[in-house]
Amino acid sequence: MPPGLNTGDSAWVLVSAAMVLLMTPGLAFFYGGMVRAQNVLSMLFMSFVSIALVTILWFGYGYGLVFGPDVGGAGVIGFGDLRFADIAPTMLHGRVPTYAFALFQLTFAIITVALISGSVAGRTRLGPWIVFSVVWVTLVYFPVAHWVFDRQGWISKWGVLDFAGGLVVELNSGMAGLALALALGPGVRFRRKEPPQPSNVPFVMLGLGLLWFGWFGFNGGSAMADGSIAVNAFLTTMIAGSAGMLTWLVIEWFRYRHFTRLGSATGALAGLVAITPSCAYVNSEGALIIGIVAAVVVSFAVTWKLVLGYDDTLDVVGVHGAGGIVGTALIGLLATGVGASTTKGLFYGGSIQVLLKQLAAIIVVALYSFIVTYLIGRVVDRLCRMRETEAEQLAGTDVQLGTEE
C-alpha cells in the first residue's frame, strides 16, 4: 500500500465516479423523454457515445492537458502526462490513487459533452456530432477545466470558487449550447412554431431520478474525501434540488393554476445545477436560497429563446447556463467561510472582491465557450454538414441509426 493512501477516501471517490458516470445514461433518458418519438434513439445515442468517445480522448491526452504541468506558468493549459500509461497505479493525487482521481474527473468531461446535445436535438447528423464532440472537448472543455479545476490554472490561482463545476460543466455547456444552436440555426419545427411533444414523460422522471442520485457523487465526490466537506455538499445538494422543484411548482400554480411533471423536473434540475459550484461553501440556509433563486431565474430564462428566436430545443441554455451563473455568483454572497474554503461572501462579512471575481470568471468562461464553440460549429457544419435538411428533420433523426430489432 503506497504511503499516504487513505482507503476510505479512495473508496468514496471510486463510488462517486460510478455515480457521476450513471448521470450520463440518466441524461439520455431525460433528454430522450423530452423529444418526439422519432428522435428518442438518436438522443440516447448522442449521450452514450459521449462515454466511449471522451474516455479515449481523456486517457489519450485530455488528462495531461487539464492536470499536467502548466505551460509557462500562465495557467492556460497543462502539458504533461500525455501518455497516461506513464502513471502507475501506486501514484497518488492527495490521499487517493491518481487513477481514481482521473476516472472521477473523466465523468465530468463526459456529461458536459452530452449536455450540449440537448440544444440541437432533432436537427443534428450523428457523424458530424461525433466530430464536433472531439474538437469541442479538446479546444473548450480541457482548457476551461485546467483554468478552474487545476491548482495551476489561472482562475483557480485567482481565488475564484467553483467546487464541482458551475463554470466548467454548467455554464460551459450552457454557453456552448447557445453557440451551437445559433451556428446551426433554428429547426424546422421551431420556425413553424410547433409546440414540443415529449414522447415519454416517465423517461424524463426516470432520468431526473438517475441524475439526482448521481449528483450526490458529482458534488460530494469533489471533496476527494469522505469527511465533513463531502457531507455538507451532499446535504446542500438535497436541499437545493428540493427547493428548486417546490419553487417551480409554486410558480406554475400562480401562472397556470396547475402543476406539470416536466416543470417539477426542470425546477429540481435548476436547483441541482445552481448548487453545484457552491455546495461546499454554503450552509443549509444558503442552499435553500440558491434553490429558490435558481428556479425563479431559470423559469424566466427558458422563455428567452421564444423572445430572442434561438432554438435551444431542450433548454440547455436556460437551465444549465442560467443555473450555473446563479450558483457561481451567489457564492460571493452566501459563502460562509467554513469548510472547503475560508473565503466569506458579503452576507457573512466578506469582501465585495469575492463577488466581483466570481462575476468576472463567469464572463470570461461564457465568452470563451461561446466564441470558440460557435466557430467549431460553423466549421464542422461547413465541412461535414452537421445540420439536417428540413426533410430529414421531419422524418426524424432516428432514421440515421437504421433499423434494429
Residue 404 domain-assigned? no
Average pLDDT over residues 364-392: 96
403 domain-assigned: no
- Pick the range with the lowest mean pLDDT from 111-125, 251-265, 275-289: 251-265
Distance of CA 130 to the CA centre of its chain: 18
Stretch 327-335: mean pLDDT, rounded?
97
pLDDT value at residue 256: 84
If you average pLDDT over residues 361-369, what whole number do you get? 98
In-domain check, residue 125: yes
Indicate whether 67 belongs to any domain.
Answer: yes
The domain total for the chain is 1
Domain at 69, CATH number: 1.10.3430.10
- According to the model, what pLDDT value does residue 403 have? 58
pLDDT at residue 81 above 80? no
The confidence band for 260, taking pLDDT boundaries of 50, 70 and 90, is confident
User: Does residue 2 lie in a domain region?
Assistant: no
Residue 405 lies in a domain: no
Confirm whether 331 is domain-assigned. yes
3-state secondary structure the chain: CCCCCCHHHHHHHHHHHHHHHHHHHHHHHHHHHHCCHHHHHHHHHHHHHHHHHHHHHHHHHHHHHHHCCECCCCCCCECCCCCHHHCCCCCEECCEEHHHHHHHHHHHHHHHHHHHHHHHCCCECHHHHHHHHHHHHHHHHHHHHHHHHCCCCHHHHCCCCCCCCHHHHHHHHHHHHHHHHHHHCCCHHHHCCCCCCCCCHHHHHHHHHHHHHHHHHHHHHHHCCCCHHHHHHHHHHHHHHHHHHHHHHHHHHHHHCCCCHHHHHHHHHHHHHHHCCCCCCCCHHHHHHHHHHHHHHHHHHCCHHHHHCCCCCCCHHHHHHHHHHHHHHHHHHHCECCCCCCCECHHHCCCHHHHHHHHHHHHHHHHHHHHHHHHHHHHHHHHHCCECCHHHHHHCHHHHHCCCC
158-198 tens-digit pLDDT: 999 999 999 999 999 999 999 999 999 999 988 888 877 89
In terms of pTM, does the model score above 0.85? yes
Q: For the chain, what percent of residues have pLDDT higher than 90?
A: 86
Task: Copy the grid coordinates of residue 54.
Answer: 471522451
Residue 1 in this model has a pLDDT that exceeds 70 = no
- Give the residue, 154 or 84, on which the prediction is more confident: 154
pLDDT category at 83 given cuts 50, 70, 90 is: confident
Range of the domain at 132: 7-398
102 inside domain? yes
d(CA 332, CA 211): 27
Q: For 77-98, what is the mean pLDDT? A: 86
Whole-number average pLDDT of the chain: 94
Looking at residue 241, what is its pLDDT?
Answer: 98
Find out whether 62 and 138 touch, Cβ atoms under 8 Å: yes
With bands split at pLDDT 50, 70 and 90, how would you rate the model's confidence at 405? Answer: very low
Give exposure, 292-306, as e/b (b: 16+ Cβ within 10 Å). bbbbbbbbebbebbe
Give pLDDT, residue 189: 87
Q: What is the pLDDT of residues 42-59, one digit of tens each?
A: 999 999 999 999 999 999
Residue 194's pLDDT is 82
Q: Tell me, what's the pLDDT at 404?
A: 52
pLDDT of residue 193: 83
